[in-house]
Amino acid sequence: MTYSETGVGRTINRLLDEHPDLDASADGALDGLDQFHIGGGEAVDRLIAGLALSTAGTVLDVGSGFGGPARQIARRTGGRVTGLDITPSYVEAARDLTARAGLDGLVRFHHGDIAEFSPERPFDAAITMHVQMNVRTKTAWFAHIARCLAPGARLAVWEVCRPRPTDLPWPMPWSLDGTDSFVVSAEALRDSIEEAGFTSTEWTDETSWVRSWIDRAFGGGAPSRPALPMLLDDGYTRVINYAAALTDGSLQVWRGIFTKTSA
* Tens digit of each residue's pLDDT (9 = 90 or more) over 108-138: 999 999 999 999 999 999 999 999 999 999 9
Does 235 or 174 have the greater pLDDT score?
A: 174
Range scoring the smallest mean pLDDT among 26-35, 44-53, 181-190, 221-230: 221-230
Quick one: pLDDT at residue 135?
97
Of 31, 2, 10, 63, nearest to 231 (Cα)?
Answer: 10
Domain count, the chain: 1
Check whether 263 has a pLDDT greater than 80: no
Residue 143 lies in a domain: yes
Provide the 3-class DSSP secondary structure of residue 81. Answer: strand
Mean pLDDT score of the chain: 90
Residue 93 lies in a domain: yes
Quick one: pLDDT at residue 248?
95
Does 238 or 160 have the greater pLDDT score?
A: 160
Cα gap 206→164, rounded to integer Å: 17
- Measured in degrees and rounded to the nearest 5, phi and psi for residue 182 equal -135, 60
pTM: 0.92
Residue 189 lies in a domain: yes
What is the domain extent for residue 163?
A: 8-260
Confidence of residue 239 (pLDDT cuts 50, 70, 90): confident
Quick one: pLDDT at residue 198?
98
Quick one: pLDDT at residue 3?
59
Residue 104 maps to which CATH number? 3.40.50.150
pLDDT (tens digit per residue) in 11-56: 788 888 888 887 877 887 777 778 889 999 999 999 999 999 987 8
Check whether 223 has a pLDDT greater than 70: no
In this structure, are residues 129 and 63 in contact, taking their beta carbons and an 8 Å threshold? yes
Range scoring the smallest mean pLDDT among 139-143, 220-224, 240-244: 220-224
HEC profile of 108-155: EEEECCHHHCCCCCCEEEEEEECCHHHCCCHHHHHHHHHHCEEEEEEE
Which amino acid is residue 4, in one-letter code? Answer: S
Quick one: pLDDT at residue 57?
92
Return the sign of the alpha-carbon dihedral for residues 107, 192, 159, 76: negative
Quick one: pLDDT at residue 151?
95
Confidence of residue 72 (pLDDT cuts 50, 70, 90): very high
Quick one: pLDDT at residue 226?
64
Residue 85 lies in a domain: yes
Residue 3 lies in a domain: no
Quick one: pLDDT at residue 144?
98
Alpha carbons within 13 A on the beta-carbon side of 87:
20
Confidence of residue 5 (pLDDT cuts 50, 70, 90): low
Helices (H), the chain: 8-18, 31-34, 40-51, 68-77, 88-100, 138-147, 186-195, 207-218, 235-247
Does 1 or 72 have the greater pLDDT score?
A: 72
Report, as an integer, the average pLDDT of 211-218.
87
Cα gap 220→222, rounded to integer Å: 7
Report, as an integer, the average pLDDT of 60-73.
95
